[in-house]
């Protein structure tokens, strides 16, 4: 590059680099990466400066865009991040399906059996407390609980929660 071209290029860089680094930042989202992107684009532009006619800023923007697209393509393999990503969570869709099946099975029970199970296992009440609430004997609560759990196992056989506590 001759002296005149060098001075012309230097004037261009001094006058437009602030605007160009903002464009580079918009492309990269990181200040250091933006500065590196602009520097690489300016190196390429300097090598072709004699052939750059019209709008050198458009030429540099195009060089930055092309460089960044190349980075995106290369970075698909691995991305460096400041903090490690969240730990992947296991697929829990099976649990949701199981809960829905159990919910439907519970809704299919007769009201008295459903009430016994809700009071015993959801409200965590003792057999005596359930008997008092339902106005029956403790033996009736036990037999209703046994029958309700057996029916629940029939309606939702895959549910490990259908067994409840005994």
DSSP 59-80: HHHHHHHHHHHHHHHHHTS---
Query: Same domain for 7 and 59?
Result: yes
Q: Which residue has the tokens 């629940």?
A: 152
Instruction: Establish if 81 belongs to a structural domain.
Output: no
Percent share of the chain, pLDDT over 90: 39
Residue that finishes a domain, picked among 22, 57, 75: 75
From CA 56, how far away is CA 70, in angstroms rounded? Answer: 21
Q: Which of the pair, 158 or 18, is modelled with greater confidence? A: 18
User: Which residues neighbour 20 within 8 Å (Cβ) at sequence distance 6 or greater?
Assistant: 38, 41, 57, 60, 61, 64
Query: Same domain for 114 and 58?
Result: no
Query: Same domain for 61 and 110?
Result: no
Q: Which residue has the tokens 């067994």?
A: 163
Q: Are 20 and 60 in contact (CB under 8 A)?
A: yes
Query: Same domain for 159 and 116?
Result: yes
Query: Same domain for 55 and 15?
Result: yes
Checking 47-50 for CB contacts under 8 A at 24+ apart, the result is: 49/1, 49/5, 49/8, 49/9, 50/1, 50/5
Report pLDDT for 83. Answer: 77
| CATH number for the domain that contains residue 128 | 1.10.10.10
Find, among 77, 59, 152, the residue nearest to 108 by Cα.
152
Instruction: Establish if 91 belongs to a structural domain.
Output: no
pLDDT tens digit string along 128-145? 999 998 899 999 999 999
Candidate ranges 2-6, 75-79, 140-144, 151-155; pick with highest mean pLDDT: 140-144
From CA 46, how far away is CA 13, in angstroms rounded? Answer: 10
From CA 95, how far away is CA 101, in angstroms rounded? Answer: 10
| CATH number for the domain that contains residue 56 | 1.10.1740
> Domain span at residue 8?
3-75
Instruction: Establish if 34 belongs to a structural domain.
Output: yes
From CA 47, how far away is CA 37, in angstroms rounded? Answer: 16
Instruction: Establish if 80 belongs to a structural domain.
Output: no
Tally of domains within the chain: 2
Query: Same domain for 26 and 65?
Result: yes
Instruction: Establish if 99 belongs to a structural domain.
Output: no
From CA 85, how far away is CA 88, in angstroms rounded? Answer: 8
Query: Same domain for 116 and 65?
Result: no
> What value does the mean pLDDT take over residues 147-151?
94
């Amino acid at each position: 590059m001759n002296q005149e071209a060098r001075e012309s290029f230097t004037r261009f860089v001094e006058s437009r680099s602030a605007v160009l680094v903002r464009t580079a930042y918009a492309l990269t989202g990181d200040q250091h990466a933006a500065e590196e992107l602009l520097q690489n684009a300016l190196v390429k532009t300097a090598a072709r400066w004699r052939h750059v006619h019209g709008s050198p800023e458009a030429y540099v923007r195009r060089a930055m865009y092309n460089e960044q697209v190349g980075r995106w393509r290369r970075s698909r393999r691995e991305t460096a991040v400041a903090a490690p990503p969240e730990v992947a969570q296991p697929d829990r869709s099976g649990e949701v399906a199981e809960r829905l099946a159990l919910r439907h099975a519970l809704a299919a029970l007769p009201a008295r059996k459903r009430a016994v199970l809700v009071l015993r296992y959801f409200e965590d009440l003792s057999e005596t407390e359930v008997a008092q609430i339902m106005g029956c004997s403790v033996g009736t609560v036990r037999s209703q609980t046994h029958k309700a759990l057996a029916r629940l196992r029939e309606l939702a056989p895959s549910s490990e929660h259908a067994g409840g506590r005994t």
